[in-house]
Amino acid sequence: MIFRSEILEFTSLLWFKLAAGFLIAFIVTMIGIPSVVKLSRYKGLYDMPGDRTSHEVPTPRLGGTMIFAGIIISTLLLSVFGSVYVINCIVTGIVVLFFIGLKDDIVDLVPLKKAAGQLIAALIIVVLGDVRLDVFGTQSGHSVIAFSLDVCLSLLVVMTLINSINLIDGIDGLASGIGIIGSVFFGIWNILNDNAPYALLSFSLAGSLLAFTWFNVFSSKYKIFLGDTGSMIIGFLLAVFLIHFIRTNAALPVSEKLASAPAIAFSVLVVPVFDTLRICVVRLSHGRSILRGDNNHIHHSVLKVSGTHLKATVIMLTVNILLILFTYLARNLGNLILIIIMLAIASAISIALHYFLIRKS
């Protein structure tokens, strides 16, 4: 009876902390963004319309500052700092990306300096925080080569997702919507697996992003963009959650293990990852550098077909959710088959959009 009451007390406390974390992050972001918009207007810190953009008026782009504030304040108030070393590493990585992103949003950093900052944040979490994939079995041995390969693969995943979210941040609500879907999915997983610190970070991110989405999508008076600060923090946290999800699942007993966890994780982030792969192929096939920006992303095609940012975002997020549900229900098919199916579906949609736009023009 005592044991049962302790479980109930722990569960109640966990849900209270998660709800509090979500609300604190939401409120901080909701209250802070109007002030950031006013400051941006006063200082002239705008994202100006251009050939590569889909907006028509100058818009402040420092929304990521309040997402950062929401997450950090929520984490501080709920006493996660200092209690778990890996959380300290995650927060340190976020701080690094915050300053790199903020400088880029204000003065436009050269790509090499921005990549260096991203790599530092990735190294902090992968090497110091030990948040890495265990593809080569380093958990059961001490092979230097295997460890190095795991580290390199994990760094690649983190760097790819940081930049993938940045690349899809081209229409209102898409990057934040992907962030909300991912943080809620991984947050629920962490709750079910008694990982309170990760669950708190997940729901704090979701709270901040929900508040940001209101201003980004629905507000005309205080409209604001994520900027590189916001998109890099979202991509970084989603990468951490993804790696933790795959590694935690792999360590579970066979009876509790979720089949095809890597494929399920891929389905959660299929939109930004597929778009990144696709845009690299398109640019290379046309003899252009993969670092040279353009407006050939898949969200630009969906926008041209749908006509509005909101419709395009809803369509893409709906497809994302449907792919997650499909992958989860068909998880017994195995990782390779599921990933091939998802890439085939995404490719078919991309090709259909391409030919539809050609015929329309």
Residues 138 and 146 sit within 8 Å (Cβ to Cβ): yes
Entry pTM? 0.92
Look up the domain containing 22 and give its range.
Answer: 2-256
Q: How far apart are CA 159 and CA 97, in angstroms?
A: 12
| 3 or 266, higher pLDDT | 266
Residues 249 and 256 sit within 8 Å (Cβ to Cβ): no
| Domain match, 240 and 304 both | no
Tell me, rounded to whole angstroms, the distance of Cα 167 from its chain centroid: 11
User: pLDDT value at position 121?
Assistant: 97
Q: Tokens 């499909």 map to which residue?
A: 326
| Domain match, 41 and 29 both | yes
How many Cβ atoms from other residues are within 10 Å of residue 286's Cβ? Answer: 10
Q: Which of 224, 256, 288 is the last residue of a domain?
A: 256
Tens of pLDDT, residue by residue over 134-180, are: 887 655 556 788 888 899 999 999 999 999 999 999 899 999 999 99
How distant, in Å, are the alpha carbons of 92, 179, 231 from that of 99?
11, 20, 13
| Domain match, 56 and 156 both | yes
Total length of the chain: 361
| Domain match, 134 and 67 both | yes
Residue partners of 97: CB distance under 8 A and separation at least 6 = 117, 118, 121, 162, 229, 232, 233, 236
Q: How far apart are CA 359 and CA 361, in angstroms?
A: 5
| Domain match, 10 and 142 both | yes
User: pLDDT value at position 297?
Assistant: 83
Domain count, the chain: 2
Residues 260 and 335 sit within 8 Å (Cβ to Cβ): yes
| Domain match, 207 and 296 both | no
How distant, in Å, are the alpha carbons of 274, 320, 327 from that of 323?
13, 5, 6
| Domain match, 168 and 63 both | yes
User: pLDDT value at position 329?
Assistant: 96
| Domain match, 51 and 171 both | yes
DSSP E strands, the chain: 46-47, 59-60
Among 111, 110, 19, 34, which residue's Cα sits nearest to residue 65? 34
| Domain match, 224 and 311 both | no
Cα angle: 30, vertex 33, 36; to 5 degrees: 160
| Domain match, 166 and 226 both | yes
- Average pLDDT over every residue of 192-213: 94
**What's the token pair of residue 145?**
């080569």
| Domain match, 205 and 151 both | yes
Q: Which of 240, 256, 272 is the last residue of a domain?
A: 256
| Domain match, 239 and 323 both | no
Q: Which of 212, 238, 256 is the last residue of a domain?
A: 256
